[in-house]
Amino acid sequence: MSGTESAFRETSAEPRTEALPYSHLSLELGHLYMEDFVEGPSRLRRHFAAVRPWADAARAGLGTLNSDKRPRISTCFLIDDYFSRLSTPAELIPPLLEAAAEAGLTIDYLARESGCAGPVSGGTEPLAGSSGRRDRVELAECVLRRLVESPPPDSTGFRPPVSRTGWLTNGRRSPFQRISPALNSTGAVWQPPSETGARGHSVFMDVELWSGPEEERSWSCAFLAALWQLVRLGLLRDNGHAVLTPTPWEDKEFPADWDALAPVLRLDPRAAPFTAYVTSSVLPARFLPVEHAVRVILDQVHVEAEALGQVAERCAAEGFNVPAGVVDRISYVFPVGL
């Protein structure tokens, strides 16, 4: 036989990675607990009045693109309906939007924190390793399976994996001494924990990802916030399908039940895309330790190469420089008094 040989493969065996539209910046205008909303409209007005100058600075910081076009910027706001539900959407959301508008701000996308934990949306096939019942596959569990712990130097593997303990660290923990000093025949001494890749001195962190038994896990704020960043960056897929894609909100009134709302609502039909090359969040200072934990988590999440490649290709075409590391694509402002 002569001539060229052809190879055939089933295209269904290579699921495509769904492409997403991207803004240049996803600007988070806040993340408040239910307790904050209970304080009333004055609390919301103070919040957005403090956020406004920093939001303006974030917009100005992008400047113009190489093509002299204005950058695409979308805004979002995350509501904590996961840890408590002291109020209803009908009671809470209208005053929130009014307070933002009063400060000259527009919330393009409204998200529920429970959406970062609940069943994934998008795609029709169950994930590998799941029970096959898609309605039981939680987004948090999907990301948990993508954690790749960074082993510290000289580690022995004595500590069980994060999938069993629910704890993730950025270095080497202090050794656990099981016996009293009087019975210590090995001469072992206490050693301090150390941060992997520390510069001079360590800033060690051990992050709790969940609490409770496996069948009734309560995901931590830090873990859900890490998922929230991955969703905003457009880097999560389920069998190639995008997850938590925004749902247009066209109703005039909000419901009395949070579960009646989609995880992410597009409030402004003219808004720039929800997902973005980089993110910035204006948050109360109390979230600083949480966001430190977010960075520890994101440093150890395996992100699909296809999703990363799509972003890199888009950015190169637009001449928009994006850091290679996922953690380096997120930034924060913690205003005093917010």
pLDDT of 266-288, one tens digit each? 999 999 999 999 999 999 999 99
Element containing residue 142 per DSSP (H, E): helix 139-144
CA distances from 17 to 105, 163, 273 (A): 34, 26, 18
Cross-strand bridge partners of residue 174: none
The C-alpha angle with vertex 287 and arms to 285 and 292, in degrees rounded to 5, equals 110
Residue-level pLDDT at 154: 61
CA distances from 254 to 98, 126, 169, 260 (A): 14, 32, 41, 9
What residue ranges do the domains of the chain occupy? 17-142+220-286+298-333
Q: What is the pLDDT of residue 40?
A: 87
Report the DSSP beta bridge partners of residue 109: 76, 266
pLDDT at 127: 35
Q: Give the pLDDT confidence score for residue 98 in this predicted structure.
A: 96
Report d(CA 309, CA 61) in Å as an integer. 25
- 3-class secondary structure, 262: coil
* pLDDT over 50 (residue 11): no
Range 295-313 average pLDDT: 94
Most confident of 30-39, 230-239, 272-281: 272-281
Total length of the chain: 338
258: helix, strand or coil: helix
The model's pLDDT over 150-199, given as tens digits with 9 standing for 90+, comes to 766 665 555 678 888 889 988 888 776 554 555 555 556 778 787 787 88
Residue 220 pLDDT class (50, 70, 90 cuts): very high
Q: Kindly state the percentage of the chain with pLDDT values over 70.
A: 82
From the CB of residue 305, how many other CB atoms can be counted at a distance below 10 Å?
A: 9
* CA–CA gap between residue 228 and residue 118 (Å, rounded): 12
Residue 260 structure tokens: 């009646």
Whether 26 contacts 278, CB under 8 Å: yes
Alpha-carbon span 238 to 125, nearest angstrom: 9
The pTM of this model reads 0.85
With pLDDT > 90 as the criterion, what percentage of the chain qualifies?
Answer: 54
pLDDT tens across 93-117, in order? 999 999 999 999 999 999 999 998 8
Q: What is the mean pLDDT of residues 134-159?
A: 71
* First CA to last CA distance, the chain: 76
As separate numbers, helices (DSSP H) first and strands (DSSP E) second, the chain gives 8, 15
**Structure confidence at residue 214 as a pLDDT band (50, 70, 90):** confident
